[in-house]
């Protein structure tokens, strides 16, 4: 028991250390975020000392950009669920990693939400009045008390699920379904609840006709499921490009390998080697002795030391590999940088695609630690794959690896597509109801869309948002958004459009005109804006750290097996660690 706890702390310590290690781009990015965070903190300290008077808010417009950002980010957090559902419907193992990225985004978004609510409080020192049991908790009457519960509950759920899956991955243990699947399903329902509750915060106010509309809840969900996955599509590409690239030390090692080829020693494979493979690849057990004999002709076993190159990007030869012992890293060179695409363990294959297709190698494979690798000819592989069970597992792994990221992005694209259509449809419903009936309560909408009594601060904003949404909708429907470049443009349009529509376009006009018919406009102050930037930087900082920790774990580079190796082989050997003894 104590050992388990100690192991867990070692895990946490290693994760924490990784967060401080990276190349210069990482430091520059983190440094810039920290500076913005501190600027925000400074602005908040000023607000704490002088009161909310330093914001643009007033008794007339008593909520502003803080609550607008809060509302938007609750949606982003809720949208993590959209990553989870395809995984459990399509049961795609490899998408698990993306789910973790999505849920980590949810964690970062919830942290930002909590920060935005806190900075909006007039008396943050009295936060403890909100703690059930210690303070006075007006549950279930106040929707805000519901929000406290669902937001914190969602945070705990996601931290637990991510933490559990990552720790299992770290230990190279298969996650026990009972320990997380039930929570995943709770999280799905919970995600919908956090956003519905946030919508009810507004919907429940009878004195504010602009918000007091049943369609606000569905609109919130539709826009969340547009903006959230759009954000994930962008984040995943950044992860692909930046975070997954091998640090310079790693790249240099691979290059050294290229400069002075170290050939692994080889010997002919025996039946015992196939037996060893069957230990890790259960599907092998169903392969008959006769077939096994046949495969052995031309098969070799390579004994590779750490750093030995097993196959090289760009070469053409038709042999496939199965790892028997140890670990092999597959990396791709792109624009002069090496990107580790995956880490292959016992029972898993690499190089089979180019072997079967006869195409040049798409990546270089290097032994990460002393390893034993079985090398088969393409013919032997084909023969092996005549066995239906082996065929299934090998093909499944091939397709996952080949298509996974782009396919996942396309799945997300279709979610964004449908959600955006629904979102625009619901918006039209709302606009129709407001303007066609033309009753007294249309004042806020009139102010928002066309201006009222000479006040029209929000008009350019809302029309920008509508234009962005419509253009994004058209792009999403057209096949052009299947190309990543256009998809990214579309995603940016979705995010900005929905941020305006749902943040400023929903919160602020609800207050204008006041319930007594007075027109007082709202403009965020500089101080308020700085606080917002600070919180966004804080959220990005959190998300970057989460990714920094989880990517090496998911790639198998940070695991229990390499504990105590002081960064070697973990792929985190970079500037900081290199300076250590």
Q: Footprint of another protein on residues 20-49 (CB under 8 A)?
A: 23-24, 27, 34-35, 38-39, 41-42, 45-46, 48-49
CA distance 498 to 332: 37
Closest CB to another protein among 451 and 460?
451
Site for another protein in 274-333 (CB under 8 A): 333
**Minimum CB distance to another protein, residue 505 (Å):** 16
Binding mask 401-440 for another protein (x = CB under 8 A): ---------------------------------------x
Closest CB to another protein among 255 and 267?
255
Closest CB to another protein among 37 and 493?
37
**Minimum CB distance to another protein, residue 112 (Å):** 18
22 and 247 Cβ atoms separated by less than 8 Å: yes
375 and 301 Cβ atoms separated by less than 8 Å: yes
Backbone angles phi, psi at 98, to 5 degrees: -65, -35
User: Is 418 exposed, middle or buried (CB count within 10 Å of its CB: 0-12, 13-18, 19+)?
Assistant: middle
Q: What is the DSSP letter of 315?
A: -
Hey, what are 82's tokens? 């959209």
Closest CB to another protein among 290 and 518?
518
Closest CB to another protein among 3 and 123?
123
CA distances from 317 to 85, 138, 310, 338 (A): 40, 70, 12, 22
Closest CB to another protein among 419 and 573?
573
- Strand 319-325 versus strand 300-304 pairing type: unpaired
Hey, what are 111's tokens? 């942290």
Site for another protein in 137-166 (CB under 8 A): 137-138, 141-145, 148
Closest CB to another protein among 83 and 151?
151
Site for another protein in 62-81 (CB under 8 A): 62-63
The residues pairing with 268 across neighbouring beta strands, listed in sequence order, are: 300
Q: Tell me which stretch binds another protein (CB under 8 A): 216-224, 334-342, 486-494, 549-557.
A: 334-342
**Minimum CB distance to another protein, residue 268 (Å):** 36
Q: Tell me which stretch binds another protein (CB under 8 A): 186-194, 230-238, 248-256, 263-271.
A: 248-256
Hey, what are 266's tokens? 């080889």
Number of residues that bind another protein (CB under 8 A): 73
Q: What is the DSSP letter of 325?
A: E
**Minimum CB distance to another protein, residue 127 (Å):** 7
Helix H or strand E segment including 237: helix 216-238
CA distance 311 to 266: 14
CA distance 99 to 416: 16
Closest CB to another protein among 201 and 224?
201
**Minimum CB distance to another protein, residue 90 (Å):** 38
SS (H, E, C) 487-511: HHHHHHHHHHHHHHHHHHHHHCHHH
Task: Please provide the DSSP assignment of 379-401 as one string.
Answer: HHHHHHTTSHHHHHHHHHHHHHH
Closest CB to another protein among 293 and 580?
580
Site for another protein in 177-206 (CB under 8 A): 201, 204-206
**Minimum CB distance to another protein, residue 153 (Å):** 16
Query: CB under 8 Å, gap of 24 or more: what pairs does 481-488 form?
Result: 481/413, 481/417, 482/410, 482/413, 484/237, 484/406, 484/409, 487/233, 487/409, 487/413, 488/233, 488/234, 488/237
Site for another protein in 466-495 (CB under 8 A): none
Site for another protein in 96-135 (CB under 8 A): 117, 120-127, 129-130, 135
Residue among 251, 269, 393, 427 that touches another protein (CB under 8 A): 251
Closest CB to another protein among 138 and 263?
138
Helix H or strand E segment including 300: strand 300-304
**Minimum CB distance to another protein, residue 340 (Å):** 14
Hey, what are 355's tokens? 């072997």
Hey, what are 273's tokens? 């080697």
471 and 462 Cβ atoms separated by less than 8 Å: no
**Minimum CB distance to another protein, residue 428 (Å):** 25
CA distance 450 to 178: 55
Q: Tell me which stretch binds another protein (CB under 8 A): 173-181, 268-276, 408-416, 572-580.
A: 572-580
**Minimum CB distance to another protein, residue 197 (Å):** 12
Work out whether 248 is an interface residue with another protein (CB under 8 A): yes
Site for another protein in 216-245 (CB under 8 A): none
Closest CB to another protein among 17 and 382?
17
Work out whether 348 is an interface residue with another protein (CB under 8 A): no
**Minimum CB distance to another protein, residue 234 (Å):** 24
**Minimum CB distance to another protein, residue 224 (Å):** 21
Hey, what are 353's tokens? 């695609």
Binding mask 504-533 for another protein (x = CB under 8 A): ------xx-xxxxxx---------------
Closest CB to another protein among 145 and 300?
145
Closest CA to 554 of 351, 404, 406: 404
Closest CA to 413 of 343, 341, 485, 465: 485
246 and 338 Cβ atoms separated by less than 8 Å: yes
Task: Please provide the DSSP assignment of 339-351 as one string.
Answer: EEEEEE-TT-EES
Site for another protein in 252-271 (CB under 8 A): 252, 255
Closest CB to another protein among 136 and 399?
136
**Minimum CB distance to another protein, residue 43 (Å):** 9
Backbone angles phi, psi at 361, to 5 degrees: -60, 135
Chain-centroid distance, C-alpha 471? 25
CA distance 220 to 228: 11
Closest CB to another protein among 50 and 565?
50
**Minimum CB distance to another protein, residue 58 (Å):** 7
Work out whether 13 is an interface residue with another protein (CB under 8 A): no
**Minimum CB distance to another protein, residue 575 (Å):** 6
Backbone angles phi, psi at 266, to 5 degrees: -130, 160
The CA-based dihedral angle spanning residues 17, 244, 225, 508, taken in that order and rounded to the nearest 10 degrees: 60
Residue among 15, 33, 36, 52 that touches another protein (CB under 8 A): 52
CA distance 521 to 461: 14
């Amino acid at each position: 028991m104590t050992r388990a706890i100690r192991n867990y702390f070692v895990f946490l310590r290693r994760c924490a250390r990784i967060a401080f290690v990276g190349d210069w781009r990482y430091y520059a990015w983190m440094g810039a975020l920290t500076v913005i965070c501190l600027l925000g903190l400074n602005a908040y300290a000023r607000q704490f000392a002088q009161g909310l008077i330093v914001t643009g808010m007033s008794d007339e417009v008593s909520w502003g950009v803080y609550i607008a950002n809060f509302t938007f980010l609750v949606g982003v957090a809720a949208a993590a669920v959209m990553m989870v559902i395809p995984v459990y419907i399509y049961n795609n193992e490899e998408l698990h990693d993306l789910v973790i990225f999505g849920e980590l985004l949810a964690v970062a978004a919830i942290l930002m939400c909590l920060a935005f609510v806190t900075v909006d409080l007039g008396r943050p020192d009295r936060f403890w009045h909100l703690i059930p049991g210690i303070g006075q908790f007006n549950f279930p009457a106040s929707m805000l008390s519901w929000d406290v519960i669902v937001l914190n509950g969602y945070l705990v759920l996601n931290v637990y699920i991510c933490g559990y899956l990552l720790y299992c991955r770290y230990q190279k243990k298969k996650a026990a379904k009972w320990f997380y699947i039930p929570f995943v399903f709770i999280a799905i329902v919970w995600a919908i609840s956090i956003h519905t509750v946030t919508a009810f915060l507004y919907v429940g106010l009878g004195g504010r006709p602009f918000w007091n509309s049943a369609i606000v809840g569905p609109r919130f969900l539709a826009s969340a499921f547009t903006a959230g996955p759009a954000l994930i599509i962008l984040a995943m590409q950044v992860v692909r490009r930046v975070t997954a690239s091998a640090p310079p030390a790693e790249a240099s090692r691979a290059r050294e390998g290229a400069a002075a080829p170290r050939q692994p020693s080889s010997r002919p494979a025996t039946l015992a080697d196939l037996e060893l493979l069957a230990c890790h690849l259960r599907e092998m057990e169903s392969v008959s002795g006769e077939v096994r004999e046949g495969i052995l002709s031309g098969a070799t076993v390579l004994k590779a030391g750490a750093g030995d190159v097993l196959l090289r990007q760009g070469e053409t030869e038709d042999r496939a590999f199965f790892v028997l012992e140890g670990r092999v890293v597959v990396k791709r060179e792109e624009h002069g940088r090496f990107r580790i695409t995956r880490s292959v363990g016992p029972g898993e294959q690499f190089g089979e695609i180019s072997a079967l297709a006869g195409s040049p190698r798409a990546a270089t494979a290097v032994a990460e630690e002393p390893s034993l690798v079985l090398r088969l000819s393409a013919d032997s592989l084909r023969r092996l794959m005549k066995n239906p069970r082996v065929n299934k597992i090998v093909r499944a792994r091939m397709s996952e690896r080949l298509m996974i990221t782009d396919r996942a992005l396309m799945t997300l694209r279709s979610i964004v597509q449908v959600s955006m259509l629904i979102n625009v449809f619901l918006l039209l419903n709302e606009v129709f109801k407001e303007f066609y009936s033309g009753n007294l309560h249309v004042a806020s909408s009139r102010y928002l869309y066309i201006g009222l009594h000479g006040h029209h601060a929000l008009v350019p904003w809302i029309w920008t948002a509508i234009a962005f949404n419509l253009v994004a909708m058209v792009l999403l429907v057209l096949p052009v958004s299947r190309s990543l470049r256009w998809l990214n443009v579309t995603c940016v349009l979705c995010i900005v459009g929905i941020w305006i529509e749902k943040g400023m376009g929903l919160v602020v006009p609800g207050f204008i005109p006041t319930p007594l018919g007075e027109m007082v406009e709202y403009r965020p102050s500089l101080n308020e804006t700085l606080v917002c930037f600070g919180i966004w930087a804080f959220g990005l900082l959190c998300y970057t750290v989460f990714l920094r920790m989880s990517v090496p774990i998911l790639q198998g580079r940070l695991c229990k097996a390499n504990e105590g190796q002081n960064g070697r082989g973990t792929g985190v050997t970079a500037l900081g660690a290199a300076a250590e003894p």
